Amino acid sequence: MPLYRRESQSVVNVEWVAFLQAAKSVIAGIALLQESSTGNTFSRLDQLEILSNRLESMCSSFTTLLDNLNADEDTLGLLTDILASLMLIQRAVFREVERIQSTNDDTSYRCSTHRTNRPGRSKYDITKNQLEFLRSKHFSWVSIAKLIHVSTRTLRRRKIELGIDDNFSAISEEELTRTMEDIIKITPNIGQSRMVGALRARGLNIQRHRVRECLRRIDPVGTALRWNPRIYRRKYQVPHPNA
């Protein structure tokens, strides 16, 4: 029994070391991105959004790990402080994303409008093909509304007018968890995108946020490690090759 406990503790320690190294890598990516603040604004915005999502995922996984960790008060206190720091960094990155987005609102795409014979505002030119294409690329309805600069209420109304249905599978959280656990047994270390595909192969069309949250519950460490990004390297501009 003591040997088993030592081995279990060793596995837990390795998982925590790997998790903290992944968090360190994300923070290093943010630092490098902040240092190289020049360059394409939209490229920088994309990178910041990716890092913000990774930090949010890590904080969620960190919380799950802490809830199930059996450690002394000093260790728990230290890890809680680290979690609080990660959450502060994530909020700061998210605020920076919002600032850049608001700065570039005037130059971003806006859905065109046309006049109708009815009184009131002009009608937005939102086609069924547009919405079905964006949905096929796994954009959420909230993301689509932001992309074309209309309210979610307007988009929901147009979705009903065009007869577009999400057709998500009606499945409980318990059933979804069991199904995903079966898939993980067959394909260890499977990520969110491949999990969505595996579920669809079984005839299940599940929202990505449900798959993401379920993966965090089933495999919090693996989820965080899969978010481990490559370090963003500084981009140099030279007048010609080999300059």
Q: 113 and 122 in contact (C-beta within 8 Å)?
A: yes
Q: Would you place residue 228 in the very low, low, confident or very high pLDDT band (cuts 50, 70, 90)?
A: low
Q: How far apart are CA 204 and CA 218, in angstroms?
A: 19
Q: Which residues contact 21 (CB under 8 A, 6 or more apart)?
A: 228
Give the mean model confidence (pLDDT) for residues 94-99: 78
- Higher-scoring residue by pLDDT: 23, 176: 176
Angle subtended by helix axes 141-148 and 152-161, to nearest 10: 110
Query: Which of 113-127, 151-165, 173-187: highest mean pLDDT?
Result: 173-187
Q: Kindly report the number of other CB atoms within 10 A of residue 59's CB atom.
A: 19
- Higher-scoring residue by pLDDT: 44, 78: 78
What letter represents residue 239's amino acid? P
Q: How far apart are CA 112 and CA 123, in angstroms?
A: 9
Q: 211 and 196 in contact (C-beta within 8 Å)?
A: yes
The pLDDT tens digits for 123-139 are: 677 888 888 787 777 67
pLDDT of residue 180: 92
pLDDT of residue 178: 92
- Higher-scoring residue by pLDDT: 141, 92: 92
Residue 199 has pLDDT above 70, yes or no: yes
Residue 204 has pLDDT above 80, yes or no: yes
Q: 46 and 80 in contact (C-beta within 8 Å)?
A: no
The pLDDT tens digits for 46-71 are: 777 777 877 887 887 788 778 777 77
Q: How far apart are CA 86 and CA 79, in angstroms?
A: 11
pLDDT of residue 4: 36
Q: How far apart are CA 179 and CA 184, in angstroms?
A: 9
Using left for φ > 0, alpha for ψ between -120 and 50, and beta otherwise, residue 230 falls in beta
